[in-house]
Amino acid sequence: MHKLFTLIDKNYDEMVKMRRHLHEYPELSFEEVETPAYIAAFHRELGHEVREHVGGRGVVAVLHGGKPGKTVALRADFDALAIQEENDVPYKSKVAGKMHACGHDGHTATLLGLAKALHVLKEEIAGNIVFIHQHAEEIAPGGAKPMIEDGCLDGVDVIFGTHLWAPTPLGEILVREGAIMAAADKVEITIYGKGGHGAEPHHSIDAVALASQFVVNAQQLISRRIDPLKSAVLTIGHFEAINPFNVIAERVVLAGTIRTFEEEVRTQLEQELEAVLHATCLAFGASYDYRYTRGYPSVYNHSKETAFVTHLASTVPGVEQVKTCPPFMVGEDFAYYLEKVPGTFFMTGAKKPEWETAFPHHHARFDFDERAMLIAAKTLGKATFTYLNSHE
């Protein structure tokens, strides 16, 4: 394993260079063109078997080891976000209104640097390694599902993945068996009332007042309808009534997100949220449109594979602590891979030691300690090499 770690260290400067190049030229979900071409060219130069346009814009590369064996898949996403970067760094985004604000540039550079190191050792590898470079993680329906439908997991025995996690200090690895990230759903609502003069509410059906009441009523679902030992979040993040100040609104548009871990709770909220909406509108003679869109399911880590990574991560250079973390309410379409094959998804701490606090993911000043890429690559690399060579 020392050889693999040495090769990854040797590739570090190139990994940083690749990460910064990708950071300067971000591409949004379902709009990626140059990024997948860059990734495919890198793997082709190594001599890997490469397939482009997988499930749309994804790239899959395969390294065949020198000995027969099982197949491990490793996944990294590469899409950016519609955010104007506010960091003053040499590698600042050169594309207005677009930024790598979640670390996907680092995920990609990590996997490419690891692929190069593993390629050198291919004759010592018993089995195959599938490098899944996924587009469109940030926007549902995401890239994972169509890539799976297009065969990216065919023949795969196990999958490993990690997320560079800026709130967690460099040197820490966060693991969790079972649900580690939540199902992320979207709700869109339009409430139709009857417009009128602001001075004569009795001649109108005030859509703003109704919508406000609904938002408050909906929170009762979390506090009074969901088992307090089960987790759920309901957030209405968009509330819009474009109207003059002295006019009663005829229409209000709402949108929000629901986060859950258990399918039973997810279904309950989907149904009962509409029941609350129906009752609120019925009381005052209003009508509504209701659209509930299921996003990514909960990321559910398999027991055996999580224990495997937990054990080996503590021996990886740079890892100071391996912690079992509480589940996160954020969503990730890595969930779809884990529905098909065994595996685990863990978080790699990426907060610089000198930072008192880190800007959160999806923030205009988000950044991470690039040394986290070394830890991520070594952890994924050791998991891959150990798994394959113990199953030959």
Given 137, 305, 367, 369, which residue is catalytic?
Answer: 137
Q: Give me the pLDDT at residue 160, please.
A: 98
Burial of 233 (0-12, 13-18, 19+ CB in 10 A): middle
Average pLDDT over residues 315-338: 97
**Does 138 appear as a known binding residue?**
yes
DSSP state letter for 226 = S
pLDDT at 188 over 80: yes
**Does 104 appear as a known binding residue?**
yes
**Does 163 appear as a known binding residue?**
yes
Question: What's the pTM?
Answer: 0.95
- C-alpha distances (whole Å) from 363 to each of 42, 134, 366 are 30, 22, 5
Quick one: which of 152, 93, 202, 188 has its CA closest to 341?
A: 152
Whether 42 and 14 have beta carbons less than 8 Å apart is answered as no
Q: How confident is the model at residue 390 (pLDDT cuts 50, 70, 90)?
A: confident
* HSE toward the beta carbon, residue 25, CA cutoff 13 A: 11
Average pLDDT over residues 144-165: 98
Q: Give me the pLDDT at residue 77, please.
A: 98
Paired strand residues for 130: 62, 73
Given 27, 32, 77, 79, which residue is catalytic?
Answer: 79
CA pair distance 78, 132, nearest whole angstrom: 10
Average pLDDT over residues 36-45: 98
Q: Give me the pLDDT at residue 57, please.
A: 98
Paired tokens of 206: 């005030």
**Does 281 appear as a known binding residue?**
no
**Does 119 appear as a known binding residue?**
no
Tens digits of residue pLDDT in 85-127:
999 999 999 999 999 999 999 999 999 999 999 999 999 999 9
Examine the residue annotation and report whether 137 is marked as an active-site residue of this protein: yes
Whether 390 and 311 have beta carbons less than 8 Å apart is answered as no
Examine the residue annotation and report whether 105 is marked as an active-site residue of this protein: no
Whether 12 and 18 have beta carbons less than 8 Å apart is answered as no
pLDDT at 297 over 70: yes
pLDDT at 347 over 90: yes
Average pLDDT, the chain: 97
Q: Give me the pLDDT at residue 391, please.
A: 74
- Indicate the residue type of 352: K
Average pLDDT over residues 308-331: 97
Q: For the chain, what is the radius of gyration of the CA atoms?
A: 24
Quick one: which of 248, 271, 269, 255 has its CA closest to 215?
A: 255
Sign of CA dihedral 285, 289, 295, 300: positive
Q: Give me the pLDDT at residue 392, please.
A: 58
111 contact partners, CB below 8 Å, separation of at least 6: 74, 75, 76, 131, 133, 377, 380
- In order of start, what are the domains of the chain with their CATH numbers? 2-181+298-389 (3.40.630.10), 183-296 (3.30.70.360)
Tens digits of residue pLDDT in 216-268:
999 999 999 999 999 999 999 999 999 999 999 999 999 999 999 999 999 99
For residue 157, the tally of other CB atoms under 10 A from its CB is: 18
